[in-house]
Each structure stands twice: as structure tokens, then as C-alpha cells.
Amino acid sequence: LYDDARIVGVFEIMEGKVVSPRGQWCGARYKARAIEGLKNVSPGAVVEVGYLPYLKIGSSYLLVLGEFEAPPPTIKSEEEFRATCKPLLPANTIMGVWRGAMEVEGDTSDQAKRSTWTVHLPGYVDYPLGTRTTQVNGEKHLWFSDLVKRLIGEQ
């Protein structure tokens, strides 16, 4: 996923809106500020991303961004998606569906606390083998720094 991505980083979601022309659901647009750049983005950069509609304003996410992989399930065909939705959505899209937007827990406003950041595990997703985990409020989380090392191919 990392190798195929155009942009990878930790971003704070600043604003977002649902994109629904003529009642046809296409997804969502977000404005996000880079907290940490891992690939092709610098801290402080603001980018527009789409199209999954579940990101929370004010929360931080490890985002893996690239080209659209497939149209949303509400769209009947790729042609319909390209005509109706694609012009309204940002070029940077969340890749790998749930794997491309993982919520980061911890004080992401302070780089000195990076070693304490964890990543909330969305369900039904496989992660790099051997990624260290911890419990946060009774839920299994991945250690951010360990996940990043494994995503970029370090051991």
C-alpha cells in the first residue's frame, strides 16, 4: 500500500462535507493539515482528500493517499462515477479503503510525544505481521512507530 501511494502522513482533519449531487451519494471531501509527513508531504501542508465519509473533524489519521481504486458501491458503473462524482471529489483519495485511513490516538500536536502515538484498528483489516500492539481503553491498538516501519519495509 505504501509503495503505491502518492502521499502518506499523519493528518488532522480540519473540515469535511458530503458530496451528493442530485441526491446521488459520491463520498466526502476533507481538508486536512499534515502533522507528520512520511511520503511526499511536509508538516503544515494542507491537502484535500476524499472519499470515505467517516472521518471525524478534529481527529488525526494516518492517511495513505493515491488515485481512485473503484467507484463507491452506490454508483452503478465506473462510467457513471467518472461523469457524476469524480469532478466533484479531490484527486487525493484514501487508498485500501479502511487501511488507508487509520485513526491516530495520542497527543499528535506534540512531536516529542510521537513514541506514545497508537493507531486504532478498524475491523476486517490485515496488518503487517509482527506489528506490536497495546491496549487502549480496552481496545487493541498498534504502536504508530512500529506500524510505520513495517509499512515502509523496514524490519
How do the pLDDT tens digits run along the chain, 155 residues long? Answer: 888 899 999 999 999 999 988 888 888 999 999 999 999 999 999 999 987 778 999 999 999 999 876 666 666 677 888 888 888 889 899 887 667 888 999 999 988 899 999 998 776 666 777 788 888 888 889 899 988 888 888 53
Rounded CA separation 55/114 (Å): 21
| E strand intervals along 51-106 | 60-66, 92-94, 101-105
The number of C-alpha atoms within 13 Å of 47 and in the hemisphere containing its C-beta is: 27
Strand partners, 141: 120, 134
